[in-house]
């Protein structure tokens, strides 16, 4: 009889992790995960299904996803000198990066509050994660603190989300260039929200061989497909490619992404609508005198509630059928903060109406007491 127990064999740093939590969303208006809310037009769905018909599921996919890579280069205007590595979502590419540079004595550094996966993946790779606090007044990079941390920890990898999640702002590009000049190792600029920020470091790849750029199709409308891209210097990407599992981009993803890239204007059009709706939602939020709303260049908005009310407001919204993200407790700088993804106009209205209902004072007090 085997007495094997997980606590004896699972690496201690894995046992110490808490699993990435995804909130159940059934029956709710889902404004918690930065998804594009729009379906495809019916004629596009039909054309897509036709294109999937001949796909051979009994065969392994093209391991290099050649045709898809060619299409991505054209549509995303990737500089010809940049190499390209594809991932099953950009999360997989972040995992590959962490595994490639990780291990004992290695540091992965990122500003915080930031994308939760950065810390999680560093820990999985057996690296030390160093989070450098952003400035308190508007979540801008604290260049002085970054410089000190870089000098002290000599990070193998620096991760910068541009725009940042969950704060929504774009860091000062000059500060990023200074970090690039200081960095002893790799710097990855994570441009997951580029469709909503419409600015990029892609054209600076040539100036910094240690710079890699991370993109994803998820936030633009293909979150279910799982396709991310890492761009940059051939010598770096050739090493990272060794960590990629041979068939990481499955046949359905390859075929569907190629189809979607031929219909790219549909997605760009949806992003434009989302950017417009972001402005309207921002204005609506700013009409609540009790809330602090932060400017956003992404497809979500961060806002701060009065002290100790975030959980009650979050629960109140859920009771009214709207799911957003509660960030209270995630990081000291996010105390009392909530994050809402920009949805369809009618979804945003439902959110604002529910929020207004909750914010009418007496209700908040009662519901707050209910929950606490």
Among 89, 113, 155, 343, binds ligand PLP (CB under 6 A): 89
| Of the candidates 133, 130, 136, the residue with the CA atom closest to the CA atom of residue 108 | 130
**Cα angle, residue 72 at apex, residues 225 and 37 outer, rounded to 5°:** 40
Q: What is the distance between the terminal CA atoms of the chain, rounded to a whole angstrom?
A: 47
Minimum gap (Å) between residue 285 Cβ and ligand PLP: 20
Point out which span in 65-73, 83-91, 323-331, 345-353 binds ligand PLP (CB under 6 A): 83-91
Phi-psi region of 135 (alpha: psi -120 to 50; beta: other; left: phi over 0): beta
* Measured torsion, CA atoms of residues 80, 85, 90, 95, in degrees rounded to the nearest 10: -140
Question: By C-beta, is 146 or 312 nearer to ligand PLP?
Answer: 146
What's the gap between Cα 174 and its chain centre?
A: 22
Site for ligand PLP in 250-309 (CB under 6 A): none
Question: By C-beta, is 220 or 359 nearer to ligand PLP?
Answer: 220
| Of the candidates 191, 234, 193, 204, the residue with the CA atom closest to the CA atom of residue 81 | 234
Point out which span in 7-15, 87-95, 315-323, 355-363 binds ligand PLP (CB under 6 A): 87-95
Name the residue with tokens 């701060």.
Answer: 304
**Cα angle, residue 253 at apex, residues 250 and 259 outer, rounded to 5°:** 145
Radius of gyration of the chain (CA): 22
Site for ligand PLP in 165-184 (CB under 6 A): 165
Question: By C-beta, is 97 or 352 nearer to ligand PLP?
Answer: 97
Cβ atoms of 320 and 347 closer than 8 Å: no
Among 69, 167, 169, 218, binds ligand PLP (CB under 6 A): 218
What track of x and - describes contact with ligand PLP for positions 126 through 165 (by CB under 6 A)? -----------------------------------x---x
Minimum gap (Å) between residue 74 Cβ and ligand PLP: 20
Among 69, 82, 86, 91, binds ligand PLP (CB under 6 A): 91
Sequence-separated (6 or more) residues with CB below 8 Å from residue 273: 38
Point out which span in 89-97, 305-313, 337-345, 359-367 binds ligand PLP (CB under 6 A): 89-97
What track of x and - describes contact with ligand PLP for positions 43 through 62 (by CB under 6 A)? --------------------
Residues at the site binding ligand PLP, with contacts judged by CB under 6 A: 34, 89-91, 115, 161, 165, 190, 192, 216, 218, 223, 228
């Amino acid at each position: 009889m085997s007495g094997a127990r997980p606590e004896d064999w699972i690496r201690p740093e894995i046992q110490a992790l808490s699993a990435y939590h995804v909130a159940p969303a059934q029956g709710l208006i889902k404004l918690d995960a930065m998804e594009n809310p729009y379906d495809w037009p019916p004629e596009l769905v039909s054309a897509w299904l036709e294109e999937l018909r001949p796909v051979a599921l009994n065969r392994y996919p093209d391991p290099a996803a050649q045709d898809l890579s060619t299409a991505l280069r054209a549509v995303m205007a990737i500089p010809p000198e940049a190499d390209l590595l594809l991932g099953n979502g950009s999360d997989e590419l972040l995992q590959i990066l962490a595994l490639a540079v990780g291990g004992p004595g290695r540091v992965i550094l990122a500003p915080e509050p930031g994308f939760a996966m950065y810390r999680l993946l560093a820990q999985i790779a057996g690296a030390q994660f160093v989070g450098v606090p952003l400035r308190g007044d508007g979540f801008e990079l604290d260049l002085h603190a970054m410089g000190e941390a870089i000098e002290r920890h000599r990070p193998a990898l620096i991760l910068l989300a541009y725009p940042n999640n969950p704060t929504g702002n774009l860091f000062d590009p000059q500060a990023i260039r200074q970090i690039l000049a200081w960095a002893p190792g790799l710097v990855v600029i994570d441009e997951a929200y580029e469709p909503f920020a419409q600015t990029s470091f892609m054209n600076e790849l040539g100036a910094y061989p240690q710079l890699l750029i991370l993109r994803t199709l998820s936030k633009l409308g293909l979150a279910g497909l799982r396709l991310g891209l890492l761009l940059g210097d051939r010598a770096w990407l050739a090493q990272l490619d060794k960590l990629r599992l041979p068939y990481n981009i499955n046949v359905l993803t390859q075929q569907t992404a190629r189809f979607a890239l031929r219909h790219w204007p549909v997605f760009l059009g949806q992003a434009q609508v989302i950017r417009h709706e972001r402005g309207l939602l921002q204005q609506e939020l700013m009409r609540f005198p009790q809330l602090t709303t932060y400017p956003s260049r992404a497809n979500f908005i961060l806002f701060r509630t009065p002290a100790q009310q975030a959980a009650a407001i979050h629960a109140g919204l859920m009771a009214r059928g709207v799911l957003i993200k509660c960030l209270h407790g995630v990081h000291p700088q996010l105390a009392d903060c909530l994050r809402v993804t920009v949805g369809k106009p009618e979804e945003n209205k439902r959110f604002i109406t529910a929020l207004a209902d909750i914010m009418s004072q007496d209700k908040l007090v009662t519901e707050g007491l209910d929950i606490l």
